[in-house]
Amino acid sequence: MKYTEEHEWLEIDGDLVVVGITEHASTQLGDVVFVELPEIETQVAKGDEVCVIESVKAASDILAPLEGEIVQVNDKIVANPALVNEDPMGAAWFFKMKVDDLSALDDLMDEDEYKDFIE
């Protein structure tokens, strides 16, 4: 897995990258009550706002961690936003994307670097 400074996790799944938010981010947000996901086939640049997540504490944007195309979204978290709090590192992934350049993952943090970052 790789991690961003925006508290997203990325996992390679074949030729796709699965994106979600970390447990740390989920805890900081509090109880998630709404998730808006991007449209499939949306082309995104790194840093583009692609999702909106609202909790009892705040609303936040999820940014595209890499350049590419959104190819799948997780409708389960739209129907049940609490899943983001219950299983942020697993069942509550946000979207899958086909990345233009997989080597861009090398610029992201690994798990140890992310743990140091959040301390």
For 36-76, how does the pLDDT look when each residue is reduced to its tens digit (9 = 90+)?
Answer: 999 999 999 999 999 999 999 889 999 999 999 999 999 99
Distance CA 35, CA 105 (A): 25
Which element (helix H / strand E) includes 70?
Answer: strand 68-73
For residue 10, give Cα distances in angstroms to 29, 43, 62.
Answer: 19, 18, 13
Give dist(CA 51, CA 48) in Å, integer: 9
Q: Provide the sign of the torsion angle of the four alpha carbons 24, 30, 33, 34, taken in this order.
A: negative
Nearest CA among 93, 88, 116, 112 for reference residue 30: 88
What is the chain's mean pLDDT, rounded?
95
Mean pLDDT of 9-15: 92
- Paired tokens of 110: 């690994």
Answer yes or no: are the C-beta atoms of 98 and 68 closer than 8 Å: yes
Question: What predicted TM-score, i.e. pTM, was given to this entire model?
Answer: 0.94
| Second-level CATH architecture of 2-101 | Beta Barrel (2.40)
- Enumerate the domain spans of the chain: 2-101
**Cα dihedral value 7, 81, 63, 5, nearest 10:** 0
pLDDT of the residue at 14: 85
Task: Please say if the pLDDT value at position 85 is more than 90.
Answer: yes
What is the rounded average pLDDT of the residues 15-27? 95
Q: Is the pLDDT of residue 15 over 90?
A: no
